[in-house]
Structure 1
Amino acid sequence: MSRLSLNSDSGAVSFASVREGAHPQAGLGRQAMALLFLAWVLFALITLSRGPSLGDHEVIVAQIARQTLQTGDWIVPQYLDTPFLMKPPLAPWLVAAVTKALPDRWATHWISEEFIPRLPSVLATLATALILLRLARDMFGVTAARITTFAYLTSVGAMLFALNATVEAVLTLLCTWAFAEFWWSRRATGSARRWHQAAFYLALGLAMLAKGPMPLMVVCAPIAVYWWLDRPLRRLTAARPGRIRGAMSRLVFDAWPRLKLALTSLGLWWGVPLFLMMFLPWMFLVARREPYFWELWNYEYLDRLEGDYPGVKSGGYWYYAPLLLGLAMPWSLSVPEALAAPFLRAYRSHRRPMRYAWCWVLVTVAILSLMSFKKPYYLLPALPGCMLLLGPVLERFFLHRPAVNPRRTKWIGLVFVVLASAGAIIAWFVGDHMFHEAWHPPVTWGTLVIAGLIIAGMYGAVRLYGAAAAPTSPQRIRSLVAVGASCVTGFLVTWTLLGPALGNCDDPRALVQHLRDANVSDDAPLYWASNRPDGRVTYYCRREVLQVMDPYKLIAQRRNRASNEDLRRTAATRLCELLESERPVYIVFEREDYENLKLFYRPPARLLCEVDRGEAGADEDDWVVATNAGVSRQP
């Protein structure tokens, strides 16, 4: 039997296919959802209190926030002793605001140094889940909405980036809000439509302040494609003769009418100024104080888009496909069906909203795949769209699909665990190769036991997935809950037990201790020569670090006018000037950089101490501290 429901808030009509005799809301009521959010908050509090230390990018956000509160300058972000203008400032602003809102005793005595920097991401993930709950309810009905929210909060991608101090979770929240407001604006009328449109432009502008210009690619492009392809896709999914020809004709002949409709009905004439007001004032204020700002952003974004950027990871066009499956775990087995769902007859009552979510995911993946610069976390804003596609699919699989052969699910589980185990082993060695200087987790018997338990839990999760073949609805619901709960439990164990060992700040602490053992005063100037300074030295150890020169200003001023070799020569000249000066200075190098400087420039310097990083023994990634103190200078 089909049920027709009218949503009084937005005026949206939702068709939900419900089988006779099924009770899909059993066990998924409001009390269960309230319990889900409370359990997730408890999970967040535990993982915020214990886990790996802040990573390289996380420390940048946390340190900028700390210096913002110390200096009172909220316009130009300061990282260590130089302006940090590579990224918009919303993430450190949020961390600084949370720090300022909490009592000083909390920040200094009762919570860890990772708690506050990661708290905005946790709150952003919860807000994203609430938006998904309402959006999926309007699209698919109450049951699918609750399953969508449950799947999102128990997915690896949501949990992993909820506990990351970078801006990714906040960006995902703002992009999800923008997608939701656009959908609601197309279903509302009168003043309600204007309010939803205003909220859309507001969310999009704030997303630019979080990580511009990424929202233009992961929000505007998918919505534009949906706007253009909605009617052709409707023809294509219609079960009638000539649908392909009809879809192609609509694709061509609808282009101009749809463009005119967009110009007249989307509020562009007042929405675009509202959108620009969210981030342009900050950009102009920064440019007044740092004139090289515009050149730096051209380098950071245009050069990166073209692939002319240090550290570009090209990757193949398939780069993001396995990442999407990984972020969606433990629901990855249903992702292929979810991506095909808008074109399957079983989901014909949900085709229009599923087409919207389909464009959200597929267009984002396509655009990111075409970019020469690829990072795994770029894909995170597509995860809520993937969960929207998964909601009706999981509802049908766990509540309405006929029973399947349990033996088949057993073999699927075995194959899945074998592939996942092989992938984990490969990732271990690939991680050591790609991130050698930061990848040196100890392999102990405890580590192997925990890894074995995680693999066993993965197999159990797949078997629980197969338990959806049970004939009764309560058993199926328990199977659905058990899949998500097993993933959360595995993540919790990994984060709290393995996390502190896999991600620690032993190297920065060892560096500071070596300096103290060498009787170097904490006030003595400590410069950082190789790559970007490790902010953990300042954030955790309270040891001030200076940069040899402002690298971003140097890059901006010499962009398109100097080669990388010229920039390296400029830096080497500055290092020699420091070492030849009369005052004692201390400079941190990577061993290979120091040996090259000694070989080609022969500055007056001696090796003070070194920090063994990675594998035991001297290697090119070790830190060494060079100084001119106690070195005789030849006339």
Structure 2
Amino acid sequence: MTAFLSLKNNYYARRLAPFLIVYLIYELVEVAILAFLQQTGTDWSAAALLRLLGNLLVETCSSFLYLIIPYLLYLAALPRTFHGSRTDHVVTTALFALFCLLNCCEETTEILSRDHFSFYSRQFLQSPKYAWNQIAASIPVLPVLFGILAVSTGTVILFFKKLVPLRTAPSTPVRAAVPILAYAMAFVLSWGSSGPPPPYTGKNEEIGRDGLFTFFGDLFAVTTLPHLPSIFGIPVLITGGIILLILLAEYIPERFMPAACRPSSLARRILRRMKKTLHLRSDFALWLLLFLAAVLLLRLISMGAYPLMDTTEARYAEMARKMLETNHWLVPQFDYGIPFWGKPPLSFWASAVTMKLGGINEWSARLAPFLASLSMGLLFLAWPFRSQSRQKAAACFLVLAASGIGFVASGAVMTDEFLALGIMLAMVSFWKAVTQPSARTWWKYLFFAGLAVGLMSKGPLALVLAGFPITLWTLWNREWKNVWNRLPWMRGTMLMLALSLPWYLLAERETPGFLHYFIVGEHFQRFTVKGWQGDLYGSGHASPPGTIWLYGLTMFLPWTILLPFLRMKKSTAASGKAIFPGESSFLWLWALSPLLFFTLARNILPAYVLPGIPAWCILTVRGLWQWDNRHPGIKNLIFLPASMFAIMAVFLLGNGFGQLEYRCQKQLLQAWDGSSPLYYWDNVRPPYSAQFYSSGKVQRLEPGIPPPENRTTYLAMKRTDYNQYRSHLPGWKREAEERLWLLLSSPPEPGNGKTGKSTHNPDSGN
């Protein structure tokens, strides 16, 4: 750390100065032009100018630090021997060019449109034609694009020789600490700034707008993982709190604590004993297991720390709860007596079973996908690594568990984790059956069992996602005879149908029309019709073609940071026996199959990339180990997520997520007594979380239909409806409120004229 603070060490000054200078110039030019365009009402006094420049500097520094975090993480992950090398210079130049291009485009568009505009915004990606028409209507597109390209190119040429310093990079601990310090400084600057005066009016929303999103290169702002703060919040707070306690105990003066009792001394003794007990040969293997166990334990603990979220989580958990309540297990119920045709029942069965064992709560509902994630992790042990198989399997499990989508999906009530489990079981079993003649017979049948799991979790899509890469691999490598002879296709297909087809036939018999809606609507129209309106249970997720590739990059974070300098080569004698011909192509086809299949799809979600993530994990670990053979120590990059969690801990301990909210009715319903009638005033059905946390007792109150007056009644309304019809609610008391909803209660005395008027018809126009 002293090397970083030393004035003589100009490493980070050389690294960050070009970025900071360019960013500051762009901000100054933008503010100057906006001030010129909005001269009316602008205070040009000396005090106002100084205040403008001061706030501009603070805002620019905080925004710059947030934006530069991915680059600092790249510097932390890059091996020390590569700092200043040709690879480092090429990647740094590419990142700097992208930085200049995007910033120049964004600042120019904001100037010309006089409004905030972000090329990262989800709205721009969802409606590119509308956004482009808005830009083209007020901006001379071709001259502006030419100017942006010229300015960006000139900037890169100007700073080209100053991007990589001549001095040796600091030590690894220093480089790992710098992103944390930068993030903490950015938080302090954003928290302390109230926003500059005109033309930059308004509150400083840097934390709420960027925060964790910009930490990931502003890419999560595109994918909008639902309720990211709640998912990561508790694990990071726990981790950050433990780290702070250890640091405090470590630096207690010696007169209060002997050296033998310090955390560092105790940790060394514990680690030595654990290494001996587990018969591990290296410290790396021990740290790998400890870090994997820590990630899994934190995820397990956090699953009950935040409520079920609308809409997907709460809806699926409520359908599982209805299975337990009604004892109707064949077809999931969207509402009492209304079948749910959108998905097969495997994930609902699993959540219902775990809630039967652990109680009706969010932790038990999320336990089912967590167990599915554990099963996926154990399947890595079955992959035929040629050397250090257990260590590589644990590393693959860590990559999966610590990736963005892996961490979220392992504790989210949805069907995608079970689909990914079925696909992975099928792919691993196929590879063992085809490439290992000595493999046990049951692996050949597990291939078909995996397909059945996919059929029972998300339908025929599983056959496509597994069959597409297998077919291409077989044809490309001319292995069709081997594939045909090694797998029991007739008996295996009968096993797959025996495990899945009876449910499809029984579901169609009990609820006629299911097969047509599920096969045609959910598997064809959903992905080919933009904004598909045939969804019986919601609406399509309209996205432009190709969005799935952006999801693939963001969902696999932080490991996508390693992709620019990971080299995938065939194994050599130094890395073990020769791999089976075609293993790399098989893994790449498996990894890319969801991206290729959903490239043209218009209704997709980020979780659709999950079936290919296990293959990405294996490819990442293979690349690290192969590179480690030539440059020992490279595989320590497997611990890269540790810095991610540390940075989020700094952010969360400062209440950085205070401005971000989640959608759930649990907090609102805590004011409900649990026995009185509960109504939701709305034209649509009550939120799914309200149904779950009221155990199905909530009722929808259509405008114009009064609730009963003979007892205390609770009424939930949106704030907009309450503000419009509050005059018709005399005597109703506010029991609780949150950002969008209010919970009101009426007194139990009948005849007081309160509830009868409370359901004034909004359509009457009064």
Alignment TM-score, normalising by the size of structure 2: 0.51
CA separation in 1, counterparts of 2:718 and 2:350? Answer: 33
Amino acid across the alignment from 1:228: L
Question: Of the candidates 320, 336, 350, which is equivalent to residue 94 of structure 1?
Answer: 350
Structure 1 residues 98, 511: CA separation in 2 closer, same or farther (over 3 Å shift)?
closer
Structure 1: gaps of 5 or more residues: 1-23, 232-256, 403-472, 549-574, 599-604, 616-620
The match for 1:171 is 419
Alignment pair present for 1:522 and 2:744:
no
How far apart are 1:272 and its partner, in Å? 1.7
Structure 1 residues 502, 132: CA separation in 2 closer, same or farther (over 3 Å shift)?
farther
The match for 2:625 is 395
Contact 2:669–2:693 (CA under 8 A) maintained in structure 1: no
How far apart are 1:343 and its partner, in Å? 12
Amino acid across the alignment from 1:96: A
How far apart are 1:378 and its partner, in Å? 0.4
The match for 2:301 is 46
Structure 1 residues 345, 56: CA separation in 2 closer, same or farther (over 3 Å shift)?
farther
The match for 1:428 is none
Contact 1:174–1:203 (CA under 8 A) maintained in structure 2: yes
Alignment pair present for 1:284 and 2:505:
yes
Residues 13-39 of structure 1 show CA distances to partners (whole Å, capped at 9, x for unaligned) of xxxxxxxxxxx973343x455434432
Alignment pair present for 1:225 and 2:472:
yes
| Structure 1 residue matching 2:413: 3-state secondary structure | coil
CA separation in 2, counterparts of 1:388 and 1:481? Answer: 12
CA separation in 1, counterparts of 2:384 and 2:295? Answer: 20
Residues 149-195 of structure 1 show CA distances to partners (whole Å, capped at 9, x for unaligned) of 332232222112112121222222222111100100102337x4642
Structure 1 residues 45, 314: CA separation in 2 closer, same or farther (over 3 Å shift)?
closer
The match for 1:538 is 691
Residues 37-57 of structure 1 show CA distances to partners (whole Å, capped at 9, x for unaligned) of 432332223322424543421
How far apart are 1:209 and its partner, in Å? 0.8
Contact 1:201–1:271 (CA under 8 A) maintained in structure 2: yes
CA separation in 1, counterparts of 2:476 and 2:683? Answer: 52
The match for 2:318 is 63
Contact 2:311–2:688 (CA under 8 A) maintained in structure 1: yes
Contact 1:529–1:588 (CA under 8 A) maintained in structure 2: no
Bigger shift: 480-489 or 149-158? Answer: 480-489
CA separation in 2, counterparts of 1:594 and 1:210? Answer: 41
Amino acid across the alignment from 1:62: A
| Structure 2 residue matching 1:305: 3-state secondary structure | helix
Amino acid across the alignment from 1:535: Y
CA separation in 2, counterparts of 1:291 and 1:594? Answer: 41
The match for 1:480 is 637
Question: Of the candidates 289, 297, 300, which is equivalent to residue 522 of structure 2?
Answer: 300
Structure 1 residues 632, 503: CA separation in 2 closer, same or farther (over 3 Å shift)?
closer
Structure 1 residues 121, 339: CA separation in 2 closer, same or farther (over 3 Å shift)?
farther
1:6-405 alignment, distance < 5 Å:
26-29=282-285, 31-51=286-306, 53-81=308-336, 82-102=338-358, 107=359, 113-135=361-383, 137-138=385-386, 141=389, 144-189=392-437, 192=439, 194-231=441-478, 258=480, 265-297=486-518, 298-307=520-529, 309-310=532-533, 311-336=539-564, 341=569, 349-350=578-579, 352-397=582-627, 399-402=628-631
In our comparison, the structure showing a higher alpha carbon Rg is: 2
How far apart are 1:201 and its partner, in Å? 0.4
Contact 1:579–1:628 (CA under 8 A) maintained in structure 2: no
Contact 1:509–1:541 (CA under 8 A) maintained in structure 2: no
- Corresponding residue pairs, total: 458
Amino acid across the alignment from 1:534: P
CA separation in 2, counterparts of 1:346 and 1:378? Answer: 37
Structure 1 residues 218, 44: CA separation in 2 closer, same or farther (over 3 Å shift)?
same
1:562-577 alignment, distance < 5 Å:
none
Structure 1 residues 263, 594: CA separation in 2 closer, same or farther (over 3 Å shift)?
farther
Structure 1 residues 207, 624: CA separation in 2 closer, same or farther (over 3 Å shift)?
farther
CA RMSD in angstroms, aligned pairs only: 4.6
How far apart are 1:535 and its partner, in Å? 1.3
Contact 2:288–2:395 (CA under 8 A) maintained in structure 1: no
How far apart are 1:335 and its partner, in Å? 2.7
How far apart are 1:307 and its partner, in Å? 1.3
How far apart are 1:223 and its partner, in Å? 1.4
Contact 1:157–1:327 (CA under 8 A) maintained in structure 2: yes
Amino acid across the alignment from 1:529: N
CA separation in 1, counterparts of 2:529 and 2:378? Answer: 37
CA separation in 2, counterparts of 1:494 and 1:169? Answer: 29
Structure 1 residues 528, 25: CA separation in 2 closer, same or farther (over 3 Å shift)?
farther
Structure 1 residues 325, 339: CA separation in 2 closer, same or farther (over 3 Å shift)?
farther
Structure 1 residues 210, 581: CA separation in 2 closer, same or farther (over 3 Å shift)?
same
Contact 2:308–2:664 (CA under 8 A) maintained in structure 1: no
CA separation in 1, counterparts of 2:658 and 2:370? Answer: 19
How far apart are 1:218 and its partner, in Å? 2.1
CA separation in 2, counterparts of 1:46 and 1:267? Answer: 42
- Which of structures 1 and 2 has the larger relative contact order (alpha carbons within 8 angstroms, sep 6+)? 1
Contact 1:320–1:369 (CA under 8 A) maintained in structure 2: yes
| Structure 2 residue matching 1:212: 3-state secondary structure | coil
Contact 1:326–1:332 (CA under 8 A) maintained in structure 2: yes
CA separation in 2, counterparts of 1:370 and 1:502? Answer: 32
How far apart are 1:66 and its partner, in Å? 1.7
1:414-493 alignment, distance < 5 Å:
473=632, 476=634, 479-490=636-647
Amino acid across the alignment from 2:582: R
Amino acid across the alignment from 2:605: K
| Structure 2 residue matching 1:544: 3-state secondary structure | coil
Contact 1:133–1:148 (CA under 8 A) maintained in structure 2: no
CA separation in 2, counterparts of 1:507 and 1:589? Answer: 12
The match for 2:213 is none
The match for 1:459 is none
The match for 2:202 is none
CA separation in 1, counterparts of 2:459 and 2:567? Answer: 28
CA separation in 1, counterparts of 2:371 and 2:516? Answer: 34
Amino acid across the alignment from 1:523: P
Q: Percent same amino acid among aligned pairs?
A: 22
CA separation in 1, counterparts of 2:496 and 2:651? Answer: 41
CA separation in 2, counterparts of 1:152 and 1:502? Answer: 26
Contact 1:526–1:544 (CA under 8 A) maintained in structure 2: no
Bigger shift: 156-165 or 49-58? Answer: 49-58
Structure 2: gaps of 5 or more residues: 1-279, 534-538, 746-753
How far apart are 1:389 and its partner, in Å? 1.0
How far apart are 1:144 and its partner, in Å? 4.1
CA separation in 1, counterparts of 2:393 and 2:307? Answer: 33
How far apart are 1:594 and its partner, in Å? 12
Residues 258-304 of structure 1 show CA distances to partners (whole Å, capped at 9, x for unaligned) of 3x765555322222221122222122222222113223313333321
Structure 1 residues 628, 363: CA separation in 2 closer, same or farther (over 3 Å shift)?
same
How far apart are 1:387 and its partner, in Å? 1.0
CA separation in 1, counterparts of 2:502 and 2:744? Answer: 43
CA separation in 1, counterparts of 2:468 and 2:484? Answer: 16
How far apart are 1:130 and its partner, in Å? 1.9
